[in-house]
Chains A and B, each alone.
Chain A
Amino acid sequence: MQAALPHPVLHPLRHVRARANRWFQNRITPRDSVTLTQRNVYILPTAPGFMLGLTLLVLLVASINYQLNLGYVLTFLLAGSAVVGMHICHGTLRGTTMTLIAPDAQFAGANVTIGVNLLSQRRTPRYGIGLAVLGTDHWSWTDVPAQGSAKVQIAFQPPRRGLHPVPALTAETRFPLGTFRVWTVWRPAAKVLVYPAPETHPPPLPPGEPRPGGAATVQRQSTGEFDGVRTYRRGDPLKLVVWKKAAKSDELVSRDAQQVQRFELWLDLAHTGIAGTGAGGTNLEQALSRLCAWVLQADKQGLQYGLRLGSQEIAPGSGEAHRKNCLQALAQV
């Protein structure tokens, strides 16, 4: 997913630059692990680098004008050190292997943490390597120990729900003198799933639908409250145990969910109480947010629930895997 280009007439320069960047990034093959070599590590002098150059020039002129042989020694030693510094700077990044740790799915609006493992085969440590999402300025700095690895976490905020590619990352170092900037651009292949943001104050869960062939005919409002308790039976989910009572007596007591189980809880995109949720409907996102909140709520209460998104239907169930299924379905509508 790429941001729109700036307008070619209003911002011609920015447009050209963005185009060039896009072309450059598209050249890079997405990979989840990349070893930096001469080919993908770039180097340019920084502003202080040019300042050092100017300093060297002034030192040289002073040495010439005052015929200071020791001045020449100083100037050339500094120049030599700067040249060596350039190589050290390039070597800091070259030869590092960066591996992406697949990011977990996240709700829209929250930060996704991308973990990157930096591996170094070198016998000396690599200092001052920074990673950031390309185009941002939030650097995470790390040192990579000799023949070891370091883990860096970078946060980024996906624009909206859905399946997003992990954004292009950049690694940079200015070690040791800050006179050169050595960097690389890396496009990970992994994608990150973004669930809809759950609604903050959702209405209560919808009423259950009677089970086909169920005994009860009375529609009951599910309030999320439980009607009664009974003694614990093997196989009761731990979520149903009333721990407060258990603390008072030696007996384990479970909530009686029988009542609820006579009904099936269906979370339906068509019945969220929000109009205009059809395909391309303007309130689709809002409805998905509500469904997301409901899924979380139902899961918390240990209820059985099913999800219906137009033609797509997930049979009622409960548990971690079921919740994940439902959220994934919501993310990819």
Chain B
Amino acid sequence: MLNNLKTLPREARDTLFLLTVIAWIIAPQVNNLPVWCSVMAAAILMWRAYLAVRGLALPSRWWLLGLLLLATVATYATHKSLMGRDPGVTYVVVLLTLKTLEMRTRRDAFVIFFLGFFTLLANFFFSQSLLTAMAMLLGLLGLLTALVNSHMPVGRPPLMQAARTAAWMALLGAPIMAVLFVLFPRIAPLWGVPGDAMAGRSGLSATMQVGTIASLALDDSVAMRIRFDGAAPPMSDMYFRGPVLSTFNGRDWVPLQSAFGPRSQLGADLQVQGKPVSYQVTLEANNRPWVLVLDATPGKPDLPDMRVTMTPDLQWIANRPVSDLIRYKAQSYTAFQHGPLRMVTGLQDYLALPANYNPRTQQLANDIRNDPRNAGADTPALVTVVLERLRTGGYTYTLEPGVFGTHTADEFWFDRKMGFCEHIASSFVLLMRSMGIPARLVTGYQGGAFNGVDDYWTVRQSDAHAWAEVWVAGQGWLRVDPTSAVSPGRTGSFVRLEAPRGVIATALNTISPRFTINLRALWDAANNGWNQWVLNYTQSRQLNLLRNIGFESPSWEDLSYLLIGLIVAASLVGAAWTLWERHRQDPWLRLLHRATRLLRRAGLELAENTPPRQMATLLQARGATLQPICDWLLRMEAWRYAPHARAPQLATLQREFRQLPWPHRIP
């Protein structure tokens, strides 16, 4: 096959290379393209490759027109529109592949290159990760290589040559890119971004159906990164608060749907104690308005261009979804008290149970209440009893609890006796309510992994967690994590239930458990650096940069001035360089010219470009004192026109030039 490649005619080879690059650019987005589009693209690329290898003629325009029409109809049928991001991406991919069937003139080739650049960009709609960036850098280099190659009309130049030129251009272009990237003013979208901009990203859910978080636990992607301005709090205190779910309809947990009027609603009534923990959060886009912070955060997280408010159940909500990586600072207190201190009407909402669900759990609650040992027990004591039951009743923590039926709590308490945090927390809250204790479910993230490389804590989607809050008279809401009763390791240390590994990962882990951990730490650090410095480079950071440079109150106009100033400076440097280059001469010639000048000043009639031998002949006639100069000139000529003129010889001549007895006057 490789041999065949080497003997292919140049045109076929170039076409195959371009097709490979196009396939490389389209491949990462296959998951986001309609199936018909991926299949069509693959088929067309293979067809084109076949035509190229066999040296067959391209199909007629009618074919293309027909395919284009078909693709247009299919695009419309899939997306119900031809405008917007997703139809646009589909259409660009279709056009790019179809255009390869119409590569006749140089202009067609250019159209392919430019469509290729659009397709490159389309990748970033779906992922802006470091990995995507690296893959697309390779794609860009591939396209540039093909473009350079198409401008080498002579013979059959090796592709490596074009690749070298392309890489060289990208390398020299990188500083220009860096300056533009840092200084180009980040402005708001010029017109409304279609709503599909964030489709298909996972995160915590606004409602919870038992089983949802189990699937999240398998998702190893990063939810956020934290850096503490000092010592990190103990892992057992690292609860990042997400949506609080207080209403249960038998199947789903949803945010509070109160049976009472607004005046009966509970307030936050947050009181904090002790020393605050300060930290910085880099939150990945989750397309939700949730600003995740540690429990509990009384002060507003410092978000530059969002309005944030705290809900009565302590969650911080932004005025718009987090559709991009954001970074903010927050101060939290791990010791706090919140909620009403005495029984109020609003607490009735947290006792509500759907009718005809979980009868055995209700029975269990009654049994515990009526147990003589628990006679006169207060709420904390009852909670302890239930936690004790979880600890000793043969309950296990598992990622694969199976599908639950109608009475989820009953099944958990009596039949399966195993589950993931949401099963445990949900069953716990239902049992509490059955016992007449106000309780609610809190979702969020718990814990994280510390990365010693860059001092960041990484919180992954697999750290998603659900816990409970019970109301205790005189103390308000208290956090109870029933999961830690079942599996103490789930909270408080960094052991996690992990998704089953592949064969290689298992083998690697057996050989050197530290190796995979170190590798992952490095990769995380690289990714985090990427997020911090590239993806999260916003207008506020731009203006901060200006402030650091010395601008008093920077605005984006200042950015433009700085950018224009730099461009002008660069042009001046370029102009100076060309001026210098114009006057730059061959060092041999420069040396000869210096000699010529000296001899002319001494009165010898010489033309500006007299060759050294002629000068030597002229000098020889003028007396023996000039003999060293003659020899020097002849040596220069001999060395200059030797098969390999060498720098050391030039250096020798230059040294001798300074030592020669140059005459002041030649008779």
Contacts and interface: CB of A to CB of B under 8 A. Distances in A.
B133 A70 contact: yes
B273 to A, nearest CB: 40
A51 B189 contact: no
A63 B166 CA distance: 24
Nearest to A46: B110
Interface in B566-591: 578, 582, 586
Given A55-B117, A65-B191, A84-B173, A37 B582 contact: yes
A62 B85 CA distance: 10
A59 B172 contact: no
Contacts of A72: 180-181, 184
A76 B173 CA distance: 8
A88 B181 CA distance: 23
B213 interface: no
Contact of B189 (A38, A66, A141): A66
Contact of B118 (A59, A76, A81, A178): A59
Interface string A45-79: 00110011001001101111111111111111111
Nearest to A175: B151
B148 A81 contact: no
Contact of B193 (A37, A66, A74, A85): A66
B77 interface: no
Interface in B124-142: 124-125, 128, 132-133, 136, 140
B154 interface: yes
A80 B180 contact: yes
Contacts of A121: 586
A65 B162 CA distance: 34
A51 B180 CA distance: 21
Contact of B140 (A78, A79, A178): A78
B23 interface: no
A78 B117 contact: yes
B128 A64 contact: no
Interface string B129-165: 0001100100010001001101111110100011001
Q: Chain A interface residue count: which class?
A: 35 or more
A176 interface: yes
Interface in A276-305: none
B248 to A, nearest CB: 38
Interface residues of B, number: 57
A315 interface: no
A80 B177 contact: yes
Contact of A70 (B124, B154, B175): B124
Given A51-B114, A64-B190, A127-B154, A38 B124 contact: no
Contacts of B323: 67
Contacts of B166: 81, 176
B173 A74 contact: no
Interface in B216-248: none
A76 B120 contact: no
Interface in A206-235: none
Contacts of A82: 173
A318 interface: no
A62 B147 CA distance: 23
A161 interface: no
A330 B153 CA distance: 42
A308 interface: no
A83 interface: yes
Given A65-B193, A176-B169, A79 B124 contact: no
A67 B189 contact: yes
B174 A77 contact: yes
A175 B155 CA distance: 15
Contacts of A37: 582
A106 B304 CA distance: 81
A328 interface: no
B110 A76 contact: no
Contacts of B155: 143
Nearest to B189: A65
Interface in B172-188: 172-177, 180-181, 184, 187
A61 B190 contact: yes
A129 B125 CA distance: 40
Interface string A79-100: 1111111001000000000000
A84 B169 CA distance: 6
A234 B581 CA distance: 66
B170 interface: yes
A178 B128 contact: no
A76 B136 CA distance: 14
Given A71-B124, A128-B153, A77 B189 contact: no
B110 A68 contact: no
Interface string A157-200: 00000000000000000111110000000000000000000000
A130 interface: yes
B42 to A, nearest CB: 24
A149 interface: no
Contacts of A62: 121
A46 B324 CA distance: 38
Interface string A88-131: 10000000000000000000000000000000010000011010
Count chain A CB atoms within 10 A of each CB in B153, B162, B181, B324 and give the residue with the most: B153
A79 B125 CA distance: 20
A142 interface: yes
A47 B166 CA distance: 21
A76 B152 contact: no
A38 B582 contact: yes
Given A70-B133, A76-B184, A79-B176, A51 B110 contact: yes
Contacts of A77: 140, 170, 173-174, 177
B381 to A, nearest CB: 53
A65 B324 CA distance: 13
Given A128-B152, A177-B148, A178-B110, A68 B124 contact: yes
Contacts of B148: 175-177
B170 A81 contact: yes
Interface in A246-286: none
B537 interface: yes
Contact of A48 (B110, B161, B187): B110
B153 A130 contact: yes
A81 B124 contact: no
B26 to A, nearest CB: 16
B559 to A, nearest CB: 13
Nearest to B164: A124
A236 B144 CA distance: 69
Contacts of B162: 176
Contacts of A64: 187, 189-190
Interface string A128-162: 10100000000001110000000000000000000
Count chain A CB atoms within 10 A of each CB in B121, B165, B174 and give the residue with the most: B121
A38 to B, nearest CB: 6
B534 interface: yes
A52 B181 contact: no
A38 B121 contact: no
Contact of A68 (B128, B176, B180, B578): B128
B197 interface: yes
A37 B168 CA distance: 23
Interface of A: 37-38, 47-48, 51-52, 55, 58-59, 61-85, 88, 121, 127-128, 130, 141-143, 174-178
The 5 lowest CB-CB distance pairs between A and B, nearest first, are A80-B173, A80-B176, A81-B173, A76-B177, A76-B180
Given A67-B324, A77-B170, A85-B169, 17 more contacts: A55-B118, A64-B189, A64-B190, A65-B193, A66-B125, A70-B132, A70-B534, A73-B181, A74-B120, A76-B176, A80-B174, A80-B177, A81-B169, A84-B168, A127-B157, A175-B151, A177-B169
7 contacts: A68-B121, A70-B535, A127-B152, A128-B153, A175-B152, A176-B166, A178-B151
